[in-house]
Amino acid sequence: MGGGGVDPRQRIETGAMHWRQMVAIALCVLLNALDGFDVLAISFAAPGIAAEWQVDRAALGVVLSMELFGMAAGSVLLGRVADRIGRRPVILACLAIMAAGMALAPLVGGIVTLSLVRLVTGLGIGGMLATTNAMVAEQANARSRSLAVTIMAAGYPLGAIVGGTIASALLAGGGWRDVFVFGAIVSAAFLPLTWWLLPETIGYLVERQPRDALARVNALLAQRGEPVLATLPDPAAAQARGGWRALFGPGLAGTTLLLTLAYLAHIMTFYFTLKWIPKIVVDLGHPAAVAGGVLVWANVGGLTGAVLLGLLSKRWPVRPLVLAALVGAVASVIVFGRAAGDLGTLKQAAALVGVFTNAAVVGLYALVADSFPVAARGSGTGFVIGVGRAGAALGPIVAGLLFAAGGDLALVADCMAGGSAIAALALLALPRRRAA
């Protein structure tokens, strides 16, 4: 091995961050922001869809969950593919799927077709989230990894804030289809940017060693002004640890199961609020454009919580921070269920929910990224997020059924807050030893 015998992965772990690594991480933040808008596009559009097609709450809950089922499959399947063929090609493929799905949504003529389109769109969204999480973890050095992952995850509410503000203006001056047209245009615009600015990670190239790995690694090292390699490190041991089987082998099984349970349970609470806020606000007598504004406030809180947790993670371990956020999530969702007064109170309660629920989500992403080795990081992240979202897709459906059965907002909120409580218990049982 050239370059003074120094493994390039070790250089990334211990060295300073190069500006090219920072650009790659920044682009992943923007891609996650796009994810945030694409996921919530159906929430912004939901009141208009319900009014135009006369959809009741139970059926609307199913529609709101369809891309979550797609996201579950996309996270599990495409996260595994990212471990096989690379992070970069999977991210590009996910972008193409998202752009196509958003473009098709305004063209459908009924609730069944829209549900199918959202299911397919979810494949791209889920694969994007799992793969960008691995990409950022491998671009960052050890000192900044937790902060980088939490900042990446903060892109999600950022996209909802910016996109939601635009969506509210579109709803005020047009119809629900305009929300999807906007999302399609922005998603397509990111394709050339990603092709140009986002390289494959050195960690993946060294671990998997595709046919041209040495040349690609040396090109990346040369761009960063670092010594090139004569040969690559032996990947055999690392490859033996990769794949889904490794996730349930000695040392990782407990971590995999507990992180999956924690993510599954909390994300049910998270998506209950994000998916139902616009419809809840409309049912309280406010127009759809105003309802979108309340959801924007929830994401302002989410962005605040994500940034706060990221900053605190530089000083304290992530797990106790996530536990505190989960406790706050339980309390804030219960409070939101009793905030059916004036619009200002609703906005404040939604923002409070956003602070705690999203802080817990981004903290979980950081825990997941730090709990799996590089060879299994895409698979591990994809499994946790994918299986978690499969269960989380039931959140909006369960809430819809509770509403349809006559439950008021307070009762439904109390029930849905239980997900964050279960997540807290799972993290308390999580092994403290970091996976090797």
Structure confidence at residue 168 (pLDDT) = 79
Structure confidence at residue 9 (pLDDT) = 81
SS3 category, 110? coil
Neighbours of 372 (CB within 10 A): 27
In sequence order, what DSSP letters do the residues of 231-285 get, joined into one string?
SPPP-HHHHHT-SHHHHTSTTTHHHHHHHHHHHHHHHHHHHHHHHHHHHHHHHTT
Half-sphere exposure (Cβ direction) of 370: Cα atoms closer than 13 Å: 24
Task: Return the percentage of the chain with pLDDT > 70, whole number.
Answer: 92
Q: What is the average pLDDT value for the chain, to the nearest integer?
A: 85
Q: Quick one: DSSP state of residue 17?
A: P
For the chain, helix (H) and strand (E) counts, in that order, are 18, 0
Mean pLDDT, to the nearest integer, of 419-423? 95
Say whether pLDDT at 237 is over 50: no
pTM here is 0.75
**CA proximity to 267, closest of 358, 332, 369:** 358
Q: What are phi and psi of 351, to 5 degrees?
A: -65, -40
In sequence order, what DSSP letters do the residues of 403-416 get, joined into one string?
HHTT--HHHHHHHH
Residue 185: what residue type?
Answer: I
Mean pLDDT, to the nearest integer, of 202-227? 88
Residue 426: what residue type?
Answer: A
Structure confidence at residue 434 (pLDDT) = 46
C-alpha pair distances (Å), 318 with each of 129, 219, 253, 312: 20, 34, 20, 8
Q: Quick one: DSSP state of residue 62?
A: H
Phi-psi region of 5 (alpha: psi -120 to 50; beta: other; left: phi over 0): left
Mean pLDDT, to the nearest integer, of 389-417? 83
d(Cα 364, Cα 264) in Å, to the nearest integer? 11
Structure confidence at residue 316 (pLDDT) = 86
Say whether pLDDT at 369 is over 70: yes
pLDDT in tens, 71-126: 888 888 888 888 889 999 999 999 999 999 999 999 998 888 999 999 999 999 98
d(Cα 49, Cα 53) in Å, to the nearest integer? 6
Confidence band for 385, pLDDT divided at 50, 70 and 90: confident
Structure confidence at residue 164 (pLDDT) = 78
Tokens representing 97 are 């799927």
Structure confidence at residue 3 (pLDDT) = 47
Q: In 174-252, where does DSSP find H-type helix? A: 177-197, 202-208, 213-223, 236-240, 244-247
Mean pLDDT, to the nearest integer, of 2-11? 67
Task: Identify the residue whose tokens are 């609470």.
Answer: 269
Task: Return the percentage of the chain with pLDDT > 90, whole number.
Answer: 35
Structure confidence at residue 195 (pLDDT) = 96
Mean pLDDT, to the nearest integer, of 212-222? 90
Confidence band for 239, pLDDT divided at 50, 70 and 90: very low
SS3 category, 174? coil
Neighbours of 267 (CB within 10 A): 27
SS3 category, 108? coil
Structure confidence at residue 293 (pLDDT) = 77
Q: In 86-201, where does DSSP find H-type helix? A: 87-104, 111-139, 145-173, 177-197
